[in-house]
Amino acid sequence: MQLHCIATGSTGNCYTLTSNNGETLILDCGIPIKEIKKGLNWNIRSVVGCIVSHAHSDHSKSVKDFETMGIPVFAPYISLEPMRIGMEFKIQAFDLTTVDGRWTHTNADGNECPCYGFLITHPEMGRMLYITDTELIKWRFKDINHILLGVNYDKDLIDRDNTGKANHVFRGHLSIDTACDFVKANYSDSLQ
Protein backbone atom coordinates (compact mmCIF):
# COMPACT_ATOMS: atom_id res chain seq x y z
CA MET A 1 0.00 0.00 0.00
CA GLN A 2 1.35 3.42 -0.95
CA LEU A 3 0.37 6.68 0.77
CA HIS A 4 0.94 9.83 -1.28
CA CYS A 5 0.40 13.43 -0.19
CA ILE A 6 -0.80 15.54 -3.13
CA ALA A 7 -1.51 18.61 -0.99
CA THR A 8 -1.73 19.60 2.67
CA GLY A 9 -2.43 22.84 4.48
CA SER A 10 -4.99 25.63 4.55
CA THR A 11 -4.90 25.97 0.75
CA GLY A 12 -6.11 22.38 0.32
CA ASN A 13 -5.72 18.78 1.47
CA CYS A 14 -5.57 15.62 -0.62
CA TYR A 15 -3.93 12.23 -0.03
CA THR A 16 -4.09 8.95 -1.91
CA LEU A 17 -3.85 5.34 -0.79
CA THR A 18 -2.96 2.97 -3.63
CA SER A 19 -2.95 -0.79 -3.31
CA ASN A 20 -0.64 -3.18 -5.18
CA ASN A 21 -3.51 -4.08 -7.53
CA GLY A 22 -3.76 -0.38 -8.46
CA GLU A 23 -6.95 0.64 -6.65
CA THR A 24 -6.67 4.20 -5.35
CA LEU A 25 -8.68 5.79 -2.56
CA ILE A 26 -8.67 9.59 -2.27
CA LEU A 27 -8.56 10.98 1.29
CA ASP A 28 -10.11 14.48 1.12
CA CYS A 29 -10.29 16.38 -2.16
CA GLY A 30 -9.69 20.00 -1.15
CA ILE A 31 -7.80 21.12 -4.25
CA PRO A 32 -8.89 21.60 -7.88
CA ILE A 33 -9.59 18.35 -9.73
CA LYS A 34 -6.83 19.18 -12.26
CA GLU A 35 -4.27 19.17 -9.42
CA ILE A 36 -5.62 15.84 -8.14
CA LYS A 37 -5.39 14.34 -11.63
CA LYS A 38 -1.82 15.65 -11.95
CA GLY A 39 -0.99 14.04 -8.55
CA LEU A 40 -2.38 10.76 -9.91
CA ASN A 41 -0.20 11.04 -13.05
CA TRP A 42 -3.52 11.51 -14.88
CA ASN A 43 -4.60 7.93 -14.03
CA ILE A 44 -8.11 8.71 -12.78
CA ARG A 45 -9.31 5.21 -13.80
CA SER A 46 -7.56 3.71 -10.79
CA VAL A 47 -9.63 5.82 -8.36
CA VAL A 48 -12.27 3.64 -6.69
CA GLY A 49 -13.61 6.26 -4.31
CA CYS A 50 -13.12 9.41 -2.29
CA ILE A 51 -13.73 10.03 1.41
CA VAL A 52 -14.32 13.56 2.69
CA SER A 53 -13.94 14.55 6.35
CA HIS A 54 -16.02 17.75 6.31
CA ALA A 55 -17.57 20.45 4.13
CA HIS A 56 -14.83 23.10 4.26
CA SER A 57 -13.50 23.67 0.75
CA ASP A 58 -9.89 22.91 1.74
CA HIS A 59 -11.14 19.31 2.16
CA SER A 60 -14.12 19.10 -0.23
CA LYS A 61 -13.43 21.38 -3.23
CA SER A 62 -13.60 18.59 -5.86
CA VAL A 63 -16.52 16.53 -4.50
CA LYS A 64 -18.82 17.50 -7.40
CA ASP A 65 -16.09 16.62 -9.93
CA PHE A 66 -15.76 13.09 -8.51
CA GLU A 67 -19.53 12.65 -8.46
CA THR A 68 -19.75 13.86 -12.08
CA MET A 69 -17.13 11.26 -13.08
CA GLY A 70 -19.19 8.55 -11.37
CA ILE A 71 -16.60 7.95 -8.63
CA PRO A 72 -18.23 7.10 -5.27
CA VAL A 73 -17.85 9.83 -2.62
CA PHE A 74 -18.32 9.04 1.07
CA ALA A 75 -19.03 12.29 2.89
CA PRO A 76 -20.59 11.38 6.26
CA TYR A 77 -21.49 15.01 6.97
CA ILE A 78 -24.01 14.51 4.11
CA SER A 79 -24.94 10.82 4.60
CA LEU A 80 -23.73 8.35 7.20
CA GLU A 81 -24.65 5.27 5.17
CA PRO A 82 -21.67 2.85 5.45
CA MET A 83 -19.69 2.31 2.27
CA ARG A 84 -17.42 -0.30 0.77
CA ILE A 85 -15.17 1.24 -1.86
CA GLY A 86 -13.56 -0.73 -4.65
CA MET A 87 -12.92 -4.41 -4.24
CA GLU A 88 -11.16 -4.30 -0.88
CA PHE A 89 -11.36 -0.90 0.88
CA LYS A 90 -13.74 -0.93 3.84
CA ILE A 91 -14.51 2.48 5.34
CA GLN A 92 -16.09 3.30 8.70
CA ALA A 93 -16.70 6.91 9.75
CA PHE A 94 -16.81 8.21 13.33
CA ASP A 95 -17.76 11.63 14.63
CA LEU A 96 -15.11 14.00 15.94
CA THR A 97 -17.12 15.41 18.83
CA THR A 98 -16.49 16.02 22.51
CA VAL A 99 -17.83 13.54 25.08
CA ASP A 100 -20.93 15.74 25.41
CA GLY A 101 -21.56 15.59 21.63
CA ARG A 102 -20.30 19.01 20.49
CA TRP A 103 -18.33 19.20 17.23
CA THR A 104 -14.77 20.34 17.86
CA HIS A 105 -14.28 22.00 14.44
CA THR A 106 -15.94 25.32 13.57
CA ASN A 107 -16.92 27.39 10.57
CA ALA A 108 -15.56 30.91 10.05
CA ASP A 109 -18.60 32.32 11.88
CA GLY A 110 -17.85 30.21 14.97
CA ASN A 111 -20.69 27.71 14.45
CA GLU A 112 -19.86 24.03 14.80
CA CYS A 113 -18.79 22.16 11.67
CA PRO A 114 -19.57 18.41 11.52
CA CYS A 115 -16.27 16.63 10.93
CA TYR A 116 -15.54 12.89 10.75
CA GLY A 117 -12.58 10.59 11.09
CA PHE A 118 -12.25 7.31 9.21
CA LEU A 119 -11.18 3.76 9.98
CA ILE A 120 -9.95 2.38 6.66
CA THR A 121 -9.39 -1.37 6.35
CA HIS A 122 -7.63 -3.12 3.48
CA PRO A 123 -5.93 -6.57 3.41
CA GLU A 124 -2.60 -5.05 2.29
CA MET A 125 -2.27 -2.56 5.14
CA GLY A 126 -4.64 -3.70 7.86
CA ARG A 127 -6.41 -0.91 9.74
CA MET A 128 -5.57 2.76 9.30
CA LEU A 129 -7.02 5.82 11.01
CA TYR A 130 -7.38 9.07 9.07
CA ILE A 131 -8.25 12.04 11.31
CA THR A 132 -7.99 15.75 10.58
CA ASP A 133 -9.36 19.11 11.74
CA THR A 134 -10.29 18.23 15.30
CA GLU A 135 -9.19 19.59 18.64
CA LEU A 136 -9.36 16.25 20.43
CA ILE A 137 -10.17 12.61 19.76
CA LYS A 138 -12.37 10.92 22.35
CA TRP A 139 -12.23 7.50 20.68
CA ARG A 140 -9.80 4.66 21.42
CA PHE A 141 -9.03 1.91 18.92
CA LYS A 142 -7.58 -1.59 19.11
CA ASP A 143 -5.22 -3.29 16.67
CA ILE A 144 -4.55 -0.23 14.52
CA ASN A 145 -1.68 -0.61 12.06
CA HIS A 146 -1.32 2.99 10.82
CA ILE A 147 -2.42 6.47 11.93
CA LEU A 148 -2.57 9.54 9.67
CA LEU A 149 -3.34 12.70 11.68
CA GLY A 150 -3.71 16.30 10.58
CA VAL A 151 -1.54 18.17 13.10
CA ASN A 152 -1.67 21.96 12.86
CA TYR A 153 0.49 23.51 15.55
CA ASP A 154 2.90 23.32 18.44
CA LYS A 155 1.49 25.41 21.28
CA ASP A 156 4.99 26.62 22.15
CA LEU A 157 5.66 27.93 18.64
CA ILE A 158 2.35 29.51 17.57
CA ASP A 159 2.19 33.28 17.07
CA ARG A 160 -0.15 34.45 19.83
CA ASP A 161 0.10 38.10 18.74
CA ASN A 162 -2.40 37.43 15.94
CA THR A 163 -5.21 36.34 18.29
CA GLY A 164 -7.79 35.79 15.52
CA LYS A 165 -5.58 33.32 13.68
CA ALA A 166 -4.36 31.71 16.91
CA ASN A 167 -7.96 31.16 18.09
CA HIS A 168 -8.86 29.58 14.74
CA VAL A 169 -5.85 27.25 14.91
CA PHE A 170 -6.52 26.26 18.53
CA ARG A 171 -10.27 25.74 17.98
CA GLY A 172 -10.81 22.57 16.02
CA HIS A 173 -7.23 21.59 15.18
CA LEU A 174 -4.77 19.14 16.74
CA SER A 175 -1.65 20.22 18.52
CA ILE A 176 1.45 18.05 18.30
CA ASP A 177 1.08 17.28 22.04
CA THR A 178 -2.53 16.09 21.66
CA ALA A 179 -1.57 14.02 18.61
CA CYS A 180 1.27 12.32 20.52
CA ASP A 181 -1.08 11.60 23.44
CA PHE A 182 -3.59 10.04 21.04
CA VAL A 183 -0.94 7.81 19.45
CA LYS A 184 0.28 6.71 22.92
CA ALA A 185 -3.30 5.94 24.01
CA ASN A 186 -3.83 3.77 20.91
CA TYR A 187 -0.41 2.13 20.88
CA SER A 188 -0.15 -1.62 20.37
CA ASP A 189 2.41 -4.01 18.94
CA SER A 190 0.54 -3.88 15.61
CA LEU A 191 1.00 -0.09 15.21
CA GLN A 192 3.66 0.72 12.62
Min mean pLDDT across 12-16, 86-90, 117-121 is at 86-90
Mean pLDDT of 28-48: 96
Burial 61-83 (b: 16+ CB within 10 A, else e): bbbebbeeeebbbbbbbeeeeeb
**Rounded to whole angstroms, what are the CA distances from 134 to 25, 43, 65?**
22, 32, 26
CA distance 97 to 138: 7
Instruction: Give pLDDT tens digits for 171-192.
Output: 678 889 999 999 999 999 999 9
| Report field, pTM of the whole predicted structure over 0.85 | yes
For the cut 70, the answer to whether the pLDDT of residue 132 exceeds it is yes
Reduce the DSSP state of residue 61 to 3 states and report it.
Answer: coil
Instruction: Give pLDDT tens digits for 103-119.
Output: 988 888 888 999 999 99
| The pLDDT of residue 135 | 87
Contact between residue 46 and residue 65 where contact means Cβ atoms under 8 Å apart:
no
